Amino acid sequence: MLKKTLLLVSAASAAFALHNGSININDKDLEVALALDLGQFNATVEPDTTFLGAKFLKSSDEHSSSKVEANGYYELDFLMKRAVNSSGLYAGIGVKANFAKVNDNSFVTIPLGVEAGFKLPLALPTTIGASVYYAPESLAFSDAESFLEYRLMGSIEVIERGSIIFGFRSLDTNFKINATKEALNYNKSGYAGFAFAF
């Protein structure tokens, strides 16, 4: 599965003038993400403001609720963001569509969210940020009742267009399991990795 995922990332970057890609890991999990800057394809869209992305997370059951058997988590996302004057601050709004199979149940949700970040005035370009995405019952399908994701993240650009990334994520969902609604944590863990801009 890892080889297929890496091949997909390589093929997508060659075919689509990839804006940025990242890979992060911890001792048990692997996450791969792609984001296309739509401003590179459409002259009416300002560059670095509108993104279409995809993400894959292979989660370990050691970073999940005890009732969760780890399976792949898949996501498509759309994000619009803008810089706030020249303050180093940016803010964005987004929507996602995600899918995962947990035990014999599957969830599909369409969470809405906000993101924000701040570029610190340091010698190496350093950014810290956070995001929160939530899907209430009206945006939850299949066996899902709701979904909540939050992340804290940071990056340090050590070479031009190449950054070290680090962060913490939590993905929670409520499921219809055995005719009851149970809150299950799909993944809660810290991570580190690399991001590359093209």
pLDDT at 151: 98
pLDDT for residue 15: 41
pLDDT at res. 61: 81
Answering whether pTM is above 0.85, one says yes
Predicted confidence at residue 175, as pLDDT, reads 78
Q: What is the pLDDT of residue 70?
A: 62
CATH 3.60.21 fits 2-197, yes or no: no
- Which stretches in the chain have pLDDT values below 70? 1-18, 66-70, 176-181
CB distance 77 to 112 below 8 Å = no
Inter-residue contact 109 to 135 (CB < 8 Å):
yes
Q: Are 7 and 34 in contact (CB under 8 A)?
A: no
**pLDDT at residue 153, as a whole number:** 98
DSSP strand pairing (140-142 vs 105-109): antiparallel
* C-alpha distance from residue 110 to each of 40, 49, 140, 167, 174 (Å): 26, 21, 7, 23, 14
In the prediction, which pLDDT does 180 show? 63
